Structure 1
Amino acid sequence: MSATPEATVRRTGSATSQVVHDRSIGDIIASTRNLTAEQVERIAEHQRKTGVRFGEAAVALGFANADDVLFALAQQFHYPYAAEAQRDASPELVTLNQPFSYQAEAFRAVRPQIMMRIFGEGRKERRALAVISPAAGDGKTYFAANLAVVLAQLGGRTLLVDADLRNARQHAVFNIPNDAGLSGLLAGRVESNVIKQIQNVPNLFLLPAGATPPNPLELVERPAFDLLIKELTSKFDHVVVDTPATQYGADGEVIATRCGGAVIVARKDASKVQALQELVASLADLDATLAGVVVNEY
């Protein structure tokens, strides 16, 4: 392999270190809304007269809205939260676009279960988590992306790997280029860094799938993929791997074995019980811990 996983990750880590500076809510709102000095003074005057906070005063005067206040609070507490103007580009990222919604709470409810069963401390070997599903459209890409966000919101370095070399979508979800990625890395065709840091989420990184190869199953069956997963789990606190639907082949099961952990995503009113039973049974025969089955209503 011309570009080793170790070199790839090391370059990424050194290039993405950031220093976060504390800012007041007023400063963040003023910057977000491009408020003039005169507008800021009017807000401050209203604040002095009424005794409310700066954000409430800005909303009362029509210079900001409730979403601006939530965004400012999230920035102040270093909590990843997409600005309003950025949400149309990635509507599926509910945990980043709407972190206080019931959908985001559902992902946060799943997170501790995943942490205990897959990423818990005290294990002899660190594991990655393969997200698999029986059929296309079950929502595994949606689940993997949002799970990666809530894991990163804990503070640990989190890597999302798009190993769906048949129908890759994570690059579109996060709105990043897909000119180079996992397929090129496994084929020894990538020389430069292929891991990208996600904007506004300091602890989240994405390894996109790259060009669609003619031999996706063979690439993940090769020793190079196993070595890559081991290297990535040593460099990141959490590694989440998106996979092709098992209706297309054995890719998902192979990837789950390499990762050491898996979660199955089913879709409400769509997934077939027999297909789920067969997938659970096949994973029981593999060297992978099944964290559970998640029913997706998205």
Structure 2
Amino acid sequence: MSAVNVEDSENVRTALNKTNDSQAVHDRSIGDIIRDARNLSAAEVERVLVYQRENGVRFGEAAVALGLVSEDDVLHALAQQFHYPLANAERRLSSPELVVLNQPFSVQAEAIRAVRSQVIMRQQQGAASSHASLAVISPQTGDGKTYFAANLAVSLAQLGGRTLVVDADLRGPRLHEVFRVPNNAGLSTILSGRAESQVIQGVEGVPGLFVLPGGAIPPNPLELVERPAFGLLMRELGSKFDHVIVDTAAAMYGSDGCVAAAKCGSAIVIARKDACRYEALQDLVASLSGSSVQFLGAVVNEF
């Protein structure tokens, strides 16, 4: 057991060092950021300034109107100035499910942010420990649990704190695909006592966000989650990160999700509109009653 904790502590320390290195403060103006990003010449900058003065618009609007930059360039400049991570074109293509990062002004992203606010308020008002991790559970596959967990983690990281998303779906881990991180080692490696390399991965382009992938699919996923090592790991990670979001296996495959929720301390249920059976949702919620889990509520996925 001590080997698990030592290995994880080393990974957490490495992750925290990366976080501190990536949180550089950018106090430059929008004009400076756009100029450097698009390599605008002194003459082009002067054209923008003249247009800005004559038309009473912002620097970015003037540069777009003159065709020197795109609206995306201005958006990314604003994101840098306000320390708000946004996806570049390559990220949008490789990680299409990360709508909070790819489409920050979409209906889906706004819905995720609304849930984020509710999660934070309910965790603060509830009886769970301030270091409690949040398990995302669902009745059946296809409910959008991984999609929700990934985007919730991104939205929490955008608040400026350190956020870790853990793939505890050891029956079909997928977070490494969503975030495009290596899956050579992960949660299953730690819980089986075989972690020999760094397993917590930083997410490129999103300061403060880290992923603990699932690792190799084990023959005994439920047993690994039920062992004391998982609970100890969740408590340690909860003390090292501001937020820990845990993706789990759908309840239709077994009790992995409920067991993980009990070890995490709090849980939220995801169900897909017009697809999830009411009885299955009711049974899942009922399975949490009588336990110490702080049930934060249910989210209906319409997308």
Tell me the TM-score normalised to structure 1 length.
0.93
**Distance in structure 2 (CA, Å) of the matches to 1:290 and 1:67:** 40
Matching residue within 257, 263, 268 for 1:258: 263
Secondary structure at 1:184 match in 2: helix
Q: For residues 296 and 124 of structure 1, do their structure 2 counterparts lie closer, same or farther at Cα, with a shift above 3 Å needed?
A: closer
The aligned residue for residue 104 of structure 1 is 109
Alignment of 1:217-236 (within 5 A): 217-236=222-241
Q: How many residues align?
A: 298
Question: Alpha-carbon deviation of 1:126?
Answer: 2.3
| Alignment deviations for residues 20-65 of structure 1 (CA, whole Å, 9 cap, x no partner) | 2222212332344454555444433433443422211111122222
Contact 1:81 1:96 in 2 (8 A): yes
Secondary structure at 2:113 match in 1: helix
Question: Alpha-carbon deviation of 1:214?
Answer: 1.4
| Alignment deviations for residues 118-161 of structure 1 (CA, whole Å, 9 cap, x no partner) | 25598556211100001111000010011111111222211110
Q: For residues 221 and 105 of structure 1, do their structure 2 counterparts lie closer, same or farther at Cα, with a shift above 3 Å needed?
A: same
Aligned AA (1:111): R
**Distance in structure 2 (CA, Å) of the matches to 1:11 and 1:176:** 16
**Distance in structure 1 (CA, Å) of the matches to 2:264 and 2:161:** 18
Aligned AA (1:64): V
Contact 1:133 1:246 in 2 (8 A): yes
Matching residue within 109, 115, 123 for 2:120: 115
Matching residue within 210, 214, 217 for 1:209: 214
The alignment's C-alpha RMSD in Å is 1.9
The aligned residue for residue 16 of structure 2 is 13
Contact 1:118 1:129 in 2 (8 A): no
**Distance in structure 2 (CA, Å) of the matches to 1:173 and 1:29:** 30
Q: For residues 106 and 136 of structure 1, do their structure 2 counterparts lie closer, same or farther at Cα, with a shift above 3 Å needed?
A: same
Contact 1:133 1:264 in 2 (8 A): yes
| Alignment deviations for residues 244-287 of structure 1 (CA, whole Å, 9 cap, x no partner) | 11111111011000001100000011000010011011111332
For structure 2, the 5+ residue unaligned runs are none
**Distance in structure 1 (CA, Å) of the matches to 2:179 and 2:295:** 27
For structure 1, the 5+ residue unaligned runs are none
The aligned residue for residue 132 of structure 1 is 137
Matching residue within 183, 206, 211 for 1:178: 183
Matching residue within 153, 157, 170 for 2:162: 157
The aligned residue for residue 66 of structure 2 is 61
**Distance in structure 2 (CA, Å) of the matches to 1:38 and 1:168:** 53
Alignment of 1:61-100 (within 5 A): 61-100=66-105
Alignment of 1:32-43 (within 5 A): 32-43=37-48
Q: For residues 242 and 114 of structure 1, do their structure 2 counterparts lie closer, same or farther at Cα, with a shift above 3 Å needed?
A: same
**Distance in structure 2 (CA, Å) of the matches to 1:285 and 1:237:** 27
Question: Alpha-carbon deviation of 1:187?
Answer: 0.9
The aligned residue for residue 288 of structure 2 is 283
Q: For residues 136 and 35 of structure 1, do their structure 2 counterparts lie closer, same or farther at Cα, with a shift above 3 Å needed?
A: farther
Q: For residues 260 and 297 of structure 1, do their structure 2 counterparts lie closer, same or farther at Cα, with a shift above 3 Å needed?
A: same
| Alignment deviations for residues 174-218 of structure 1 (CA, whole Å, 9 cap, x no partner) | 111111111111111112221112122212111111111111111
Tell me the TM-score normalised to structure 2 length.
0.92
Contact 1:132 1:243 in 2 (8 A): yes
**Distance in structure 1 (CA, Å) of the matches to 2:126 and 2:78:** 31
Matching residue within 38, 44, 52 for 1:47: 52
**Distance in structure 1 (CA, Å) of the matches to 2:252 and 2:126:** 34
Matching residue within 200, 209, 213 for 2:205: 200
Contact 2:128 2:265 in 1 (8 A): no
Aligned AA (1:7): E
Aligned AA (1:229): M
Aligned AA (2:33): I
